[in-house]
């Protein structure tokens, strides 16, 4: 299953920026889109219907050539194993923080490991 979100760029030439997540793809829905990916020396122009798979963890800048440019951002969820590991780590951190006590003062060694 993929999550789809559609965005409209209402100010031509003014870029929006975000850090690409796992399995993200941008697709031009209307108008011409100008895409710049961190570390890539070449800019990419997308015509309506064209799409680009974004590299995970890289910053992306996107702007429209004219007013009313729209794009769809599709995201495939991370594999179950990655989500499971993240949930496990979150639960472990919560458990450690919940059971820490101030009875003998702050314990910076344990706190440093959890943050």
In this predicted structure, what is the pLDDT of residue 1?
65
Domain spans, the chain: 3-75, 80-114
* Structure confidence by residue, pLDDT tens digits, 8-32: 888 878 888 998 888 899 999 998 9
* Structure confidence by residue, pLDDT tens digits, 32-67: 999 999 888 899 999 999 999 998 889 999 998 877
Class for the domain spanning 3-75: mainly beta
Q: Please state the pTM of the whole predicted model.
A: 0.63
Interatomic CA distance for residues 62 and 99, integer angstroms: 45
Question: Which residues touch 24 (CB under 8 Å, ≥6 apart)?
Answer: 53, 54, 56, 73, 74, 75
- Phi and psi at residue 43, in whole multiples of 5°? -80, 155
Report residue 108's pLDDT band, with 50, 70 and 90 as the boundaries: low
């Amino acid at each position: 299953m993929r999550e789809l979100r559609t965005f409209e760029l209402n100010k031509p030439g003014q870029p929006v920026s975000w850090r690409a997540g796992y399995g993200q793809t941008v697709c031009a829905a209307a108008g011409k889109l100008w895409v710049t990916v961190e570390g890539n020396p070449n800019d990419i122009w997308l015509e309506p219907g064209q799409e680009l798979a974004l590299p995970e963890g890289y910053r992306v800048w996107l702007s429209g050539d004219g007013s009313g440019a729209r794009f769809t951002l599709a995201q495939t969820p991370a594999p179950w194993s990655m989500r499971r590991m993240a949930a496990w780590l979150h639960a472990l951190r919560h458990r450690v923080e919940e059971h820490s006590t101030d009875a003998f003062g702050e314990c910076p060694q344990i706190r440093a490991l959890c943050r």
